[in-house]
Amino acid sequence: MKSDAYGYDEERAAAELARDAVRRSDRPGRTGGSGGAFARDPGRLPDEAGRPAADAEPGGGGRGGRGDDGRRRASGRDDRAPWEDRVGADDTASRASRRTAPEDPDAGAAGAGGRDGGASRSRRNPRGADPDAAEEAGRRRLHLFTGDRVLWIIIAVLAVISVLVVYSSTAKMAYDAHTARSTAQFLRQQLMILGFCLLVMIAVQKINCRVYNQLSRPVYYLSVGLTLAVYFIGATTNGAARWFPIGSFQFQPSEALKVATVLFLARQLAGRQSKIDRIRIVPSWKFWTWRTSALQRKIWREGTWPILMPVLVSCLVIFPAHTSSAVLVFLASWVMMLIGRVRFSELLKLVGWAAAGVVLIMTLNLGRSETAEGRVSTWIHLWTRSQTEKPIEHLTDTERSMIAIHNGGIFGEGAGQSAMRVEMIHPESDYAYAFFVEEYGIILAVLLLMLYLWIFFRAIEIFRRCGTAFPGLLVLGLALLITCQALLHIMVTVNLIPETGQTLPLISRGGSSVLFTAIALGMILSVSRQNDEQSHDRPKSEELKIGD
């Protein structure tokens, strides 16, 4: 095997140059002949050293005219395919790397058959794929925390606050003779719940939206069935049947139904984006015409059954045990339909029907309407009468939470220094925000409120980058659930609205609320991850027109 002074194999160089000549000679515009590849382009015939002939005619591609390249430059036109220059550059770079790299023993066995070496390189890099890009995509898939980084930071901060709030607020429960548990045990339980929810969130955000779309219908039906079943076989606490006891964990299916409703409604709205602005979803109040009128049958078939009925069923199923959750689902669904381009006149009709339904429920005393009416009366009483002479044992939890906020002031009493935690019934869940204000002050409490608003604004940014209806509506619906629930909790603590029993998402002590909040956040992160990867399915019928 002949080599030059630098150890470069001249036979392999000749073979590679010949292969390069074959590639260039096959371009469109060359005239073929019976002399083979080199006969079609005399200017590319190799000389004895394996290099192009220097004395080739100018038009044939020698040093004088350089063949087609010279003609292209002379005419100011380049007819080559975009990938041709890259092929030549890659071959040049590969030859340069071989001159400096040690000789490959497998390549040496091929001898002058350099064609096999090229084929093996093609197999290693199919279709010219960039190995660096593939490696980078593989590294992204291996990352645990993908998606919106700001949202991950917010989640981490809320989890830390949850540990602080639960550890300090459960001191009253730890000293209760009926619990027989210490604050350390409550802390370990909350840490276990948060750890498990983190694993669930990581798993959920690795699943693509296509899977959520396919599972939305069975998940919705299952959640409705479980919420109905809890009224018959579930555990009753404070006069409401809400939980399935599973060991030490109490599963509340209404929390699952809230997420499932948003998931299913996003699917129903997304599949009708091409005609959603022409669909009527609210039938006439003349119910006797629903079966006889062709127009009313069309409204039920195209709008009421597929879009409105899932929301109404969810609200009716949740209402008997948790009135405020039913209201929360209705509000989030209404905003989703507004963003999903449902006609505004139909949404106004829906508000009228909802108001009439509330009046009917209160009149017939259905569900927990009596409890809701008592809470509204207490709320009005607090705003209309002086409470300065009331004994502390007669104070409501809302009044005690307002005292806790007053005690906190600007900078708070300090961690573990709350005095009202022994007076409030549920400082670790229903009044976690008031407890946080008392210990850490109004400044940090305002920052905590900003975190929940920040979740919604990050969801808006993720929504704008989606470009298709289902993931965008899903993100906004879930963010609305989380943010509105936090706002309801905070407004109760300052007596802006009557008591609702809503927990502070991801902070209040509890299993089901934290779990399904983590699932909702995982879905939002999943959409954000697919935005970064640009891997969303983009059916034309689901194109979401934000400006309309």
Contacts 24+ apart (CB under 8 A), 78-85: 79/28, 79/29, 80/27, 83/128, 84/27
* Rounded mean pLDDT, 196-219: 94
- Of 431 and 257, more confident: 257
Buried b (16+ CB within 10 A) or exposed e, 416-431: eebebbebbebbbbbb
Q: pLDDT of 92-128, one tens digit each?
A: 444 444 444 444 434 343 344 444 444 444 444 444 4
- Look-up of token digits 């709030």: 165
- Of 322 and 172, more confident: 322
pLDDT at res. 118: 43
Partnered with residue 543 across adjacent β-strands are 468
Q: What confidence category does residue 371 fall into, taking pLDDT thresholds of 50, 70 and 90?
A: confident
pLDDT at res. 376: 85
* Rounded mean pLDDT, 374-381: 83
Would the CA dihedral through 267, 272, 277, 280 be positive or negative?
A: negative
* Whether 23 contacts 87, CB under 8 Å: yes
The model scores a pTM over 0.75: no
User: Token digits for 414?
Assistant: 């300090």
Tell me which of 221-235, 347-361, 533-547 is least confident.
533-547
Q: pLDDT of 34-72, one tens digit each?
A: 444 334 444 444 444 444 444 444 444 444 444 444 444
Q: What confidence category does residue 86 fall into, taking pLDDT thresholds of 50, 70 and 90?
A: very low
Query: Which amino acid would we find at residue 447?
Result: L
Q: What confidence category does residue 234 fall into, taking pLDDT thresholds of 50, 70 and 90?
A: confident
* Rounded mean pLDDT, 281-292: 89
CA distance 64 to 55: 8
* Rounded mean pLDDT, 447-474: 93
Q: What proportion of the chain, given as a percentage, has pLDDT over 70?
A: 70
Q: What confidence category does residue 238 fall into, taking pLDDT thresholds of 50, 70 and 90?
A: low
Q: pLDDT of 293-311, one tens digit each?
A: 999 999 999 999 999 999 9
* Rounded mean pLDDT, 409-417: 87
Query: Which amino acid would we find at residue 142?
Result: L
Q: pLDDT of 150-170, one tens digit each?
A: 999 999 999 999 998 888 877
Is 14 a residue whose pLDDT tops 70? yes
pLDDT at res. 114: 43
CA distance 259 to 517: 9
- Of 328 and 501, more confident: 328
